[in-house]
Amino acid sequence: MSITARLWREASLAADSESFLARIGTAILDDVDGDALVVRAIEPEQHHLVTTASVRRGAVGVAHPARPRIELSAAALARVSAWIESGAIEHVSAERLAGVARDVLRGMGDSEQAWWLVPLVASSSALGVLLVAASDELEPRKLAAIAEPLSAVLAAERQRRELSQLREAAEADKAAALARLHMRDIGVAVVGADAGLREVMRQVEQVAPTGAPVLILGETGSGKEVVARSIHERSNRAAGPILRVNCGAIPPELVDSELFGHERGSFTGAATQRRGWFERADGGTLFLDEIGELPLAAQVRLLRVVQDGVFERVGGARPLEVDVRIVAATHRDLGAMVAAGTFREDLWYRINVFVIRLPPLRERQGDIAALAEHFTERAAQRFGAVGLRVTPDDIALLQQYDWPGNVRELAAVIERAAILGEGRRLDVQRALGLRSDGGLASERMRVGTSDRFPTLDEAMAAHIERALERCAGRIDGPRGAAKLLDIHPNTLRSRMQKLGVRLPGRGS
């Protein structure tokens, strides 16, 4: 068998460059008449060159001294990557160690050794460098023949590493989602599926197997993500990923990069290629939360991928295809936004195929007891309060409240009640801001048996006032009321102006 055939055979069997050199490194040295081989792979995200394996003539096995990492500056990484992508083999000696050679050979520790630098590249992407030490002149043709199968090994190794990182990221996303949704596992039944959400779950069962786009409408905190995940679980994409994108949290200038990814060098700071949310969700479901917050320019590009499954990365020229189901959600009136020209009509028609309207918690009185028990159990597990229980009196208080923040607010109230009760009981009265006589601390709002039932605006204003008081009047930032209420700061300011809510200490 020729050395070329052996190289490709070993490349097909090797899990990484270390095992590749272990099996055929000596034969390579004999063929090219070299003294040593060293493989250095690029880790572009960390700006590192990593020695993955090396072999020397006469040595037993492959050496890999702690996989040393050589850190490169952004400029040096760009130089090395450009040289690798050019495919030019370079022969250097100690007398003319400069430029790219100095970057690539850093840390080799043998200033007297002459080296051949062989680029390792696949699909125009820089993978690393093969260093061949030799006392005499070598044949570039033979070095190039080694580079191609070794590049295939490095490309497969990088792909496996990226897939592993994606799996780890997906598991982290899943864990974060479970924590956010107060669930143990994705497959846990939806609380209220047999009561207040019976019609919603019937619609979920109808649409899930079809693959059609779904638009979920509902107030903030009403459980839109739970419904989106229920659709995914019941679809033929359940084995694929489901990724959530909060469209309102992406800065306008980064929307395209986040959704569609970007190529290296497409803009300042784009040091590496990046896969966007659509590529990461390929074969699964992409949940576009608060889609009404997307700027018009991004809506145009979103329309194409929703229609055709085709897009281009920022700075890219090659169309990419994905198979992604879209589930969108918003608390806004998209029909009114279309009429006002702030949401594209053609995109609205594309995502408005099947609409699920999620009722607010105040219309699901029968679910409050089950939800309270569910969140109490979660709080008990989180705080280690084994005997924590929700009582009938607690349920009665919770059912009197109007819940402008919906299920998310109920979860926060139960957690706050557990803290105020020091883990021994739920102090629902204080958690709701009730006076000792059972009235609400805010005079804006009287519910239940009071003489006047509050309007929705009054309930919302009271809730915003409590959030502002809790955040000491701060609106923006990680400790601001907007973060606590899970809405955009500008949206909160607009609602405050509309409802006549002023910052604490600023009068009426």
479-499 residue pLDDT tens:
788 888 888 887 888 888 888
Contact indicator for 114, 133 with CB cutoff of 8 Å: yes
Contact indicator for 73, 103 with CB cutoff of 8 Å: no
Q: What is the pTM of this model?
A: 0.55
Contact indicator for 371, 394 with CB cutoff of 8 Å: no
In whole angstroms, give the CA distance from residue 240 to residue 230: 14
pLDDT tier at 232, thresholds 50, 70, 90: very high
Question: What per-residue confidence (pLDDT) applies to 217?
Answer: 94
Question: What per-residue confidence (pLDDT) applies to 229?
Answer: 92
Average of per-residue pLDDT across 12-41: 82
In whole angstroms, give the CA distance from residue 223 to residue 466: 22
In whole angstroms, give the CA distance from residue 442 to residue 466: 8
User: Could you tell me which residue, 232 or 314, shows the higher pLDDT?
Assistant: 232
In whole angstroms, give the CA distance from residue 504 to residue 499: 15
Residue reference for tokens 């083999």: 89
Nearest to 470 by CA among 497, 499, 433, 501: 433
Question: What per-residue confidence (pLDDT) applies to 467?
Answer: 85
Question: What per-residue confidence (pLDDT) applies to 433?
Answer: 77
**Residue 135 burial (C-beta neighbours within 10 Å; 0-12, 13-18, 19+):** exposed
Question: What per-residue confidence (pLDDT) applies to 325?
Answer: 94
Number of Cβ within 10 Å of residue 443's Cβ equals: 8
Question: What per-residue confidence (pLDDT) applies to 444?
Answer: 41
Question: What per-residue confidence (pLDDT) applies to 210?
Answer: 92
Average of per-residue pLDDT across 398-420: 88
Question: What per-residue confidence (pLDDT) applies to 446?
Answer: 40
Contact indicator for 444, 468 with CB cutoff of 8 Å: no
Q: Per-residue pLDDT for 319 more than 50? A: yes
In whole angstroms, give the CA distance from residue 228 to residue 26: 56
pLDDT tens, residue by residue, 367-383? 899 999 988 988 888 77
Q: What is the DSSP string of 358-404?
A: PPPGGG-GGGHHHHHHHHHHHHHHHHT-TT----HHHHHHHHHS--T
pLDDT tens, residue by residue, 184-219? 454 446 777 777 788 999 999 999 999 899 999 998
Question: What per-residue confidence (pLDDT) applies to 7?
Answer: 83
In whole angstroms, give the CA distance from residue 193 to residue 358: 12
Q: Where are the beta strands (DSSP E) in 218-345?
A: 242-246, 261-262, 274-275, 285-289, 310-311, 320-321, 325-330
